[in-house]
Amino acid sequence: MTLRGLIALAAFALGLPALAEGVNVGKPSSVRNLVPAGAIEQQAAQQYEQLKRQASAKGALGPGDHPQVLRLRAIAARMIPFVDRFNPRARTWRWEVNLIGSKQINAFCMPGGKIAFYSGILDTLKLTDDEAAMVMGHEIAHALREHARERMAKSQITQFGAHLLGELVGGGRYAGAFQMGGNLLSLKFSRDDESEADVVGLELAARAGYDPRAGVSLWQKMAAANSRAPLEFLSTHPAGDHRIKEIEKHLPEVMPLYEKARRAN
């Protein structure tokens, strides 16, 4: 456990005010600035609408009065007011939450706040509200920290060649040359991205009044389900004991936020 975590835990146990509330994940990578935020958010919105049309055509798009849709939107409504701590631009996003009927154990939040859950992740894992909030917080965190934008920028740098990197970062003259392409739904994040999303997701959920300790039970359920059959979700979201230990390490930083939210409610 970090020194900051120990201090937070001691303050929580003694009922003292914390020195600093929440987690510290630093500034997002500046590399992401090589890809225009508006362009990737527009692309995400287009792909999200296409996904919704395809689901609707198959009768798989959850109606607005579906109990699970209402549940997911209620969780999002409690979480979204806290997103600007990690990305001030997110307060202007046109947030959307939908449910897709499918056995897939998966969920995502695309750039610009486009969230979707597949019914399989709720039904197969029998997620509690706290656990569903952990999934949603994690996915929202990817969007807030602009991991897709960063991945795309790094991919384009590789294609352009290292000799252009100085000009890209320095004058930014070639930023407009970046091509927007590919399926954002199939984008894979790095291990660091996943760890960061876990931590940011813990704080979002805690501030919204969801128990961050559910992050541990969530990944235990994931691991158990994966042992029976490989999960699609874990093809882009690696799990393991290390992940649970990292979550446990940051719990002292977010538990005071959870208790504060509980008292306020």
Catalytic positions, written as ranges: 139
Task: Output the CA–CA distances (angstroms, integers) from residue 237 to 102, 140, 214, 261, in the order listed.
Answer: 19, 14, 17, 28
Q: Which residues partner with 116 through β-bridges?
A: 98, 108
DSSP state of 178: P
**Closest among 78, 65, 60 to 116, alpha carbons compared:** 60
Phi, psi (deg, nearest 5) at residue 65: -100, 10
Residue recorded with tokens 């409690």: 78
List the beta strands (DSSP E) in 50-171: 96-100, 107-110, 114-118
Reading the block at residue 188, the tokens are 């894979």
Q: At what angle do helices 241-264 and 214-228 cross, to 10 degrees?
A: 140
| 218, 135 Cβ separation under 8 angstroms | yes
Q: What CA–CA distance (Å, rounded) separates 25 from 91?
A: 20
Inter-helix orientation angle 191-207/241-264, to 10° = 20
CB atoms within 10 A of CB 111: 27
